[in-house]
């Protein structure tokens, strides 16, 4: 047995015995107490050892005094209560409680609990006081009044390695202002953040950060807190839910940074992680792994513990960036998807279970000026990859499409639409490989997103440039979009080549987005102008997620729709002819056939 446990047992044994004597002494004079105690000595031993047995049974002696809590006190109260009841039962059987003071059991109860718990509480207070080490903690405000808030404050106070010192609390309820949690004052409420500045002036340490302890905070409240943090130069973060705390965190409360995309995005859905269990232990390949969608895919897939994650990327820096974030069970490959020979070697060697094909040219302006490059990268590379999957009997390939593929008005959208058609065609008679398409709109935080552009323009004092006052777009945060892409890859399909469409809510006016970002930045709306520059080549006023004539079906997952409609489907011979022309670099003819195969393509 551990020496510390033996010392603790000896401590309790002595104090229970002393408590027995003191309880008699308080009621009687010293001489009478000594005489009675001599007559009852074996009852004293019984009481002491019974408590030791009960406390050991309750696991008290496996605890650490440094972390003594209400749980330990409850165990001591239970033990003393049971011991006194047993003692009274024996007293009654032996001498019918004669000569035993009636107040003795009550005194014994109070003195025993006080004598055994006091050293533990004192030791903890002393340790808490002496542990003021040299580690400089970050003073923070905590938002919330839930049990998670209390746990976080307690954890921050107790843990020597905690990075944070809570100096104040912002409650969701105005009625809580002025009260305290673990002696930390509740300074204000989320309903009246503007009045919080006066309270902040009264505390000794100025906070450097706001941490939101309730992950279910309303989007309006989150927005207000974000604006308040920016106006006061505070960083802002949110505690993860218990399910999000990874093994690497060692159970610690490590806040996630709140970024502007979280504020601008729609309310994100919470999906069951069990839907993605099939990815665990599989070999997964992601093309365009260094891009915005590709890198987020890699991060989320990596958390699902695949056997091997192959990162295909042609940009050296982007490949380095994503591979350095993941490290284990990955294979970075500096590969251009147009290098068909190398692509075949990789697929033959590793035979991935799933392929997520995100690699593509996505910037409308560049693609409009170089349409042939779009045919090579977006279309031909996809064709060759699909053919390889079919030939090598790859289990599943997921093609990432775009809302710009619906009634396309530019080369980028048209090339994606042609890929959708080709995949539907090749999948119709295929049994060994499953082909699926996922179509969705703009994602906040991607390389092509307006958010970083607007942020830069706002930081420079404006103007914020928008092409048209009526232009609208669908928006979704990149994390939610990728999660739904992964979930759609696990859904049962009704037809090979099925198109899954992510529901993205109502489209947002870009000018409203710009105005909101100006407010969120803490800048004065009057000082930053919005300038309209005119639509770019190939740009539409409104985007659509599906064709009006497509038959749209609901899936088992909220937020994911599907369609198996095959509209304007070209002949196999048309595809063969176009592939041959692109391969032979007959650029003019390639573009002519390309446009003929897409009657839905209307140049803007």
**577 and 452 share a domain?**
yes
Mean pLDDT over residues 173-181, rounded? 83
> Which pair of structure tokens corresponds to residue 519?
């407010």
Q: Look up tokens 């003393």; give the residue.
A: 80
Q: Rounded CA gap, 508 and 486, in Å? A: 25
Kindly indicate the confidence band of residue 245, based on its pLDDT and cuts at 50, 70 and 90. very low
Instruction: Mention every residue, 6+ apart, whose C-beta is less than 8 A from residue 7.
Output: none
Q: Look up tokens 């890198």; give the residue.
A: 295
Would you state the pLDDT for residue 92? Answer: 78
Higher pLDDT pick, 580 / 248: 580
Looking at the 3D structure of the chain, how many domains does it have? 3
**Other beta carbons within 10 Å of 512:** 10
Q: What is the CATH number of the domain that holds 547?
A: 3.40.50.720
Q: Is residue 266 part of a domain?
A: no
**431 and 460 share a domain?**
yes
**393 and 515 share a domain?**
yes
Coil vs helix vs strand at 524: coil
The residues that bridge with 444 in the sheet, in sequence order, are: 477
Higher pLDDT pick, 35 / 83: 83
Would you state the pLDDT for residue 255? Answer: 60
The residue from 130, 159, 187 where one domain ends is 130
Higher pLDDT pick, 79 / 135: 79
Q: Is residue 234 part of a domain?
A: yes
Higher pLDDT pick, 248 / 323: 323
**Helices (DSSP H) in 444-556: which residue ranges?**
450-459, 478-488, 510-520
Q: Is residue 271 part of a domain?
A: no
Q: Rounded CA gap, 136 and 524, in Å? A: 35
Could you list the residue range(s) of the whole structural domain that residue 321 is in? Answer: 278-596
**461 and 573 share a domain?**
yes
Q: Is residue 216 part of a domain?
A: yes
347-406 pLDDT, tens per residue? 999 999 999 999 999 888 888 889 999 999 999 999 999 999 999 999 999 999 998 999
340-350 and 381-392 helices, crossing angle to 10°: 30
Q: Rounded CA gap, 120 and 124, in Å? A: 6
Rounded to a whole number of angstroms, the CA Rg of the chain reads: 34
Q: Is residue 105 part of a domain?
A: yes
2-46 pLDDT, tens per residue? 677 788 888 888 888 888 888 878 777 777 777 777 777 788 888
**536 and 433 share a domain?**
yes
534-568 pLDDT, tens per residue? 888 777 788 878 888 889 998 888 889 999 998 88
């Amino acid at each position: 047995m551990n020496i510390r446990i033996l010392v603790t047992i000896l401590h309790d044994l002595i104090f229970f015995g002393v408590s027995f004597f003191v309880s008699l002494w308080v009621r009687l004079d010293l001489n009478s107490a000594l005489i009675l105690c001599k007559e009852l000595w074996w009852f004293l031993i019984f009481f002491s050892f019974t408590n030791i047995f009960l406390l050991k049974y309750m696991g008290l002696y496996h605890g650490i005094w440094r972390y003594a809590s209400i749980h330990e006190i409850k165990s001591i109260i239970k033990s003393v209560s049971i011991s006194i009841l047993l003692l009274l039962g024996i007293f009654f059987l032996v001498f019918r409680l004669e000569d035993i003071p009636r107040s003795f059991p009550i005194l014994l109860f109070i003195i025993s609990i006080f004598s055994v718990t006091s050293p533990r509480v004192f030791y903890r207070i002393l340790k808490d006081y002496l542990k003021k080490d040299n580690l400089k903690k970050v003073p923070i405000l905590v938002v919330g009044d839930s049990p998670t808030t209390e746990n976080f404050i307690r954890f921050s106070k107790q843990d020597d390695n905690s990075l944070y010192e809570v100096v104040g609390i912002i409650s969701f309820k105005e009625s809580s202002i002025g009260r305290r949690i673990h002696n930390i004052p509740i300074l204000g409420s989320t309903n009246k953040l503007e009045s919080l500045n006066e309270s902040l002036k009264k505390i000794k340490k100025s906070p450097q950060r706001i941490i939101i302890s309730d992950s279910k905070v309303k989007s309006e409240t989150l927005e207000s807190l974000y604006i308040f943090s920016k106006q006061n130069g505070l960083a802002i973060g949110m505690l993860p839910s218990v399910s999000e705390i990874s093994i690497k965190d060692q159970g610690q409360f490590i806040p996630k940074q709140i970024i502007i995309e979280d504020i601008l995005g729609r309310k994100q859905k919470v999906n069951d992680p069990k839907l993605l269990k099939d990815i665990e232990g599989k070999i997964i390949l992601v093309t365009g792994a260094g891009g915005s969608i590709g890198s987020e895919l890699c991060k989320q897939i990596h958390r699902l513990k695949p056997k091997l994650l192959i990162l295909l990327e042609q940009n050296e820096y982007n490949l380095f960036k994503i591979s350095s974030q993941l490290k284990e069970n990955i294979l970075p490959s500096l590969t251009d998807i147009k290098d068909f020979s190398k692509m075949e070697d990789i697929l033959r060697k590793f035979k991935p279970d799933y392929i997520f094909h995100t690699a593509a040219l996505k910037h409308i302006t560049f693609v409009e000026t170089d349409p042939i490059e779009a045919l090579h990268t977006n279309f031909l590379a996809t064709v060759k990859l699909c053919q390889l999957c079919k030939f090598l009997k790859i289990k599943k390939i997921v093609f990432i499409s775009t809302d710009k593929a619906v009634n396309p008005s530019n080369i980028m959208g048209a090339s994606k639409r042609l890929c959708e058609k080709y995949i539907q065609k090749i999948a119709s008679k295929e049994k060994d490989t499953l082909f699926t398409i996922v179509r969705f709109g703009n994602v906040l935080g991607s390389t092509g997103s307006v958010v970083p552009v607007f942020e830069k323009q706002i930081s420079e004092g404006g103007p914020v440039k928008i092409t048209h006052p009526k232009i609208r777009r669908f928006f979704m945060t990149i994390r939610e979009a990728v999660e739904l892409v992964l979930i759609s890859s696990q859904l049962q399909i009704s037809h090979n080549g099925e198109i899954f469409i992510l529901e993205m809510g109502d489209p947002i006016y870009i000018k409203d987005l710009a105005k909101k970002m100006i407010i969120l930045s803490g800048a004065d709306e009057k000082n930053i102008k919005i300038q309209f520059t005119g639509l770019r080549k190939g740009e539409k006023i409104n985007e659509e997620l599906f064709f009006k004539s497509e038959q749209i079906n609901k899936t088992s997952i909220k937020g994911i729709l599907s369609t198996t409609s095959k509209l304007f489907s070209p002949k196999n011979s048309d595809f063969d002819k176009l592939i041959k022309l692109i391969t032979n670099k007959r650029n003019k003819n390639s573009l002519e056939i390309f446009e003929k195969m897409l009657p839905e393509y209307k140049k803007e």
